[in-house]
Amino acid sequence: MDWGAIFNNAAGELISPTTAAYALAALGLAVHFGYTGLLNFGQAGFMALGAYGYAISILTFGFPVWGAFLVGVGASVIFALILGIPTLRLRADYLAIVTIAAAEIVRLLFTTNAFASVTGSANGLSGYKNEFAALNPLADGTYGFGPFENNAYDTWLGIVAWSIVILAALFVWQIMRSPWGRVIKGIREDEDAVRALGKNVYAYKMQSLILGGVLGTIAGMIFALPRAVVPSNYQTTLTFFIYAILLLGGAATVLGPIIGSMIFWVLLSFFSGFIARAVEAGWLPFMTVVQGSQLRFILVGVAIMLIVIFRPQGVFGNKKELAFVR
């Protein structure tokens, strides 16, 4: 068995743009769920809006990269307003129901044949990478070393993606230690108490919903840049993976989502490489290669369960905080 290749691939995931995209989406969810207590189950919808907003702006309207970026962000702000205006005055559970449904509506709208000329229907969209690649200041060739060796496009994308993640993490870290963040965390604990102290809870929840949604949208764009935009990528399972990453790292932390995303992708890549080769080598005689590729998700699930059972606050969560969880 080629252990070297398995570990090589797994290590490569550590800093891949996809890992960055999941980290950013999980950071958005940390703002929603970890800090504000908003149960957003539609992060996949925000990501889809980012990916499609970017791709459609470039392919159909010929926008420059920054214009496409703004279209995606604008779409997610509008999406957050549509979700938030009717539901943020209600109990927390309603937001969960509405977001999970809205994310599915978004995905199905992108899948339906009615708009196939713009959205590419179930086949999705591709061929929108040139504009981003044209901004690449790096000369052709390979960069990095060992498992982190990439071509110029992937290196450029990686630099941009992780820079955005770092900036977003600093941004979230700063606002959460400010009085604004204190109000947000107060809302998570008891919004009536915060309202009684003269804070406009509704406006704060809306700001949080938009902020986390925009982070998810930018994550959607990063997620789309190494691959094609396919609607089936944005199913509710995507939201649940991001929740898994968030809980893995620690819900009300800034570093948690980032490290959680790295752990998640390294584990996923390791298990996928390991199982595929184990099946080939005949170690798992009861299993076909196709079945093996599904087994990795089961193993990742088991790994996450173990972490949640033995370290329920996540990697970076505060153990003291958890002692009081109702």
Binding residues (CB under 8 A) for another protein: these are 171, 174-175, 178-183, 185-186, 188-190, 192-201, 207, 211, 320-321, 324
Q: Which is nearer to another protein, 123 or 200 (CB)?
A: 200
Shortest distance, position 211 Cβ to another protein, whole Å: 8
Quickly count helices (H) and strands (E) in the chain: 15, 2
Shortest distance, position 204 Cβ to another protein, whole Å: 8
Shortest distance, position 4 Cβ to another protein, whole Å: 45
Residues ≥6 apart with Cβ < 8 Å to 19: 13, 261, 262, 265
How far is 269 from 199, CA to CA, in rounded Å? 46
Shortest distance, position 254 Cβ to another protein, whole Å: 15
Q: Which is nearer to another protein, 5 or 167 (CB)?
A: 167
Q: Which is nearer to another protein, 143 or 180 (CB)?
A: 180
Query: Mutual orientation of helices 255-280 and 289-310 as an angle, nearest 10°?
Result: 140
Please state, in angstroms and as integers, the Cα–Cα distance from residue 95 to each residue in 118, 155, 241, following that order.
30, 38, 19
Q: Which is nearer to another protein, 180 or 297 (CB)?
A: 180
Shortest distance, position 165 Cβ to another protein, whole Å: 18
Q: Which is nearer to another protein, 58 or 172 (CB)?
A: 172
Render 264-303 in DSSP notation, one character per residue. HHHHHHHHHHHHHHHHHTTS-TT--HHHHHHHHHHHHHHH
Shortest distance, position 183 Cβ to another protein, whole Å: 6
Please state, in angstroms and as integers, the Cα–Cα distance from residue 163 to each residue in 70, 121, 143, 220, 321, following that order.
18, 32, 17, 15, 30
Shortest distance, position 178 Cβ to another protein, whole Å: 4
Q: Which is nearer to another protein, 206 or 244 (CB)?
A: 206
Shortest distance, position 55 Cβ to another protein, whole Å: 29
Please state, in angstroms and as integers, the Cα–Cα distance from residue 184 to each residue in 78, 171, 269, following that order.
21, 15, 36
How far is 43 from 214, CA to CA, in rounded Å? 10
Q: Which is nearer to another protein, 188 or 296 (CB)?
A: 188
CB atoms within 10 A of CB 93: 10
Query: Mutual orientation of helices 43-59 and 236-249 as an angle, nearest 10°?
Result: 120
Q: At 29, phi and psi to the nearest 5?
A: -70, -30
| Nearest CA among 66, 225, 64 for reference residue 153 | 225
Q: Which is nearer to another protein, 199 or 227 (CB)?
A: 199
